[in-house]
Each structure stands twice: as structure tokens, then as C-alpha cells.
């Protein structure tokens, strides 16, 4: 089978094209029983979703980052609460030393909670500044004048060396105080 999007040869057993990410199951279903219009909705493919994410505005990316941070924090908090009660009940029937260790495992749920807080903090404060800088760059008019620098007419050429003292590298090598003796010829 060939991918209808990129033309790569793919196995009929895989769900997505390994080259471009097109949903091959949808293509196979369309070939077996096409819908009433006979067209496949290409906007529901994996590649289309990736393209939508890449073409999002900086503000949309910032809001998605905040949303992801809040979700991660909520999951971390939920894991912490769940582990606290579950492992507290498990630790009740264990010896004291083992119970202390088991009952403190709930703290592992704080890791995703804190990561989520960091992502949210980044989205709220740091990414906001980046979005504002991007807006300022887009709003600022482009300066049509080239930067100030040397013009080719301003380049100073060094004085020509004495006749017979030319180099293949045109004066880029260091000149020695004395000439090296020429090797003897046979």
C-alpha cells in the first residue's frame, strides 16, 4: 500500500504513515466503504493536528502551556491524595519502620504537582513576556536603511610590496626578517 499523502510504501497493518503521519486506517475505510460524498476528511489526520499545533499563535501556545500546567498540577495533587490514603491503609498493618516508609511514598505525587506549577508559572509570567516581545517586534516598523558599516570604497589597500616579493597568499603570511636559504639543486 502507498500513503496517499507522501507516496511512501507502507504496510497495511500500521495505523499511521511513518513518513508523514497520515491516518491510514481512515484511508483503508474510505477505500472499503466510502461515505456519501466519497471524500476523506483529511483534517482529522495526525499530520493535520501537528500542523495546527505548529501554526498556533504565540498567545495560543502560551494558553496551551498554562492549561497543560494546570492539568499536570491537578494530576499530581490527585496522585498525592490517592497515595496518601491508600498507602496509609496499607501501612496500618505493617511494622513501624516499614509503615513509616510506605506511608511517606505519597510524597512522590508532589513531583508532577510541582512540575505542573512550574509549567503554569512559566506560562503565566515568562511566556507572557515573550509574547509581548514578539508583538513589539511585529509592530515595530522595519528600518529600510542598511546598518552603518564599511563601504567597499572605504577599504584601504596596503602598499604594494617590492617587486619579486609577492606571495601566493597575497600578504596573509607573516614576513620573516631574513630569507630562508634555497635548497641545493642537483
Please check whether residue 22 is in contact with residue 45, taking contact to mean a CB–CB distance below 8 angstroms: yes
**In tens digits, what is the pLDDT along the chain, a chain of 186 residues?**
778 778 888 877 788 888 888 888 877 777 776 554 556 666 777 777 777 767 778 888 888 889 999 999 999 999 999 999 999 899 888 898 898 898 889 899 899 999 999 999 998 888 888 888 888 887 776 655 655 555 555 555 555 555 555 555 655 555 555 666 677 776
pLDDT at res. 158: 56
Q: How far is CA 100 from CA 41, 80, 108, in A?
A: 56, 16, 14
pLDDT at 52: 72
The burial class, CB within 10 Å (0-12 / 13-18 / 19+), for 152 is exposed
Give the Cα separation of 41 and 19 in Å (integer). 19
Closest CA to 122 of 67, 74, 65: 65
Q: What pTM was computed for the model?
A: 0.47
Sign of dihedral through CA atoms 6, 12, 18, 20?
A: positive
Amino acid at each position: 500500500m502507498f500513503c496517499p499523502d507522501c507516496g511512501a510504501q507502507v504496510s497495511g497493518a500500521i495505523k499511521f504513515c511513518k513518513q508523514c503521519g497520515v491516518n491510514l486506517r481512515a484511508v483503508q475505510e474510505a477505500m472499503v466503504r466510502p461515505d456519501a460524498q466519497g471524500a476523506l476528511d483529511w483534517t482529522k489526520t495526525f499530520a493535520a493536528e501537528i500542523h495546527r499545533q505548529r501554526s498556533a499563535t504565540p498567545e495560543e501556545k502560551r494558553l496551551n502551556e498554562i492549561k497543560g500546567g494546570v492539568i499536570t498540577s491537578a494530576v499530581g495533587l490527585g496522585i498525592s491524595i490517592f497515595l496518601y490514603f491508600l498507602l496509609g491503609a496499607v501501612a496500618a498493618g505493617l511494622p513501624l519502620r516499614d509503615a513509616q516508609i510506605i506511608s511517606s511514598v505519597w510524597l512522590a505525587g508532589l513531583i508532577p504537582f510541582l512540575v505542573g506549577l512550574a509549567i503554569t508559572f512559566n506560562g503565566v509570567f515568562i511566556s507572557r513576556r515573550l509574547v509581548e516581545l514578539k508583538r513589539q517586534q511585529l509592530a515595530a516598523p522595519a528600518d529600510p536603511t542598511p546598518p552603518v558599516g564599511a563601504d567597499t570604497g572605504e577599504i584601504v589597500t596596503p602598499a604594494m610590496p617590492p617587486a619579486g616579493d609577492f606571495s601566493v597568499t597575497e600578504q596573509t603570511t607573516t614576513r620573516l626578517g631574513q630569507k630562508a636559504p634555497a635548497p641545493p639543486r642537483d
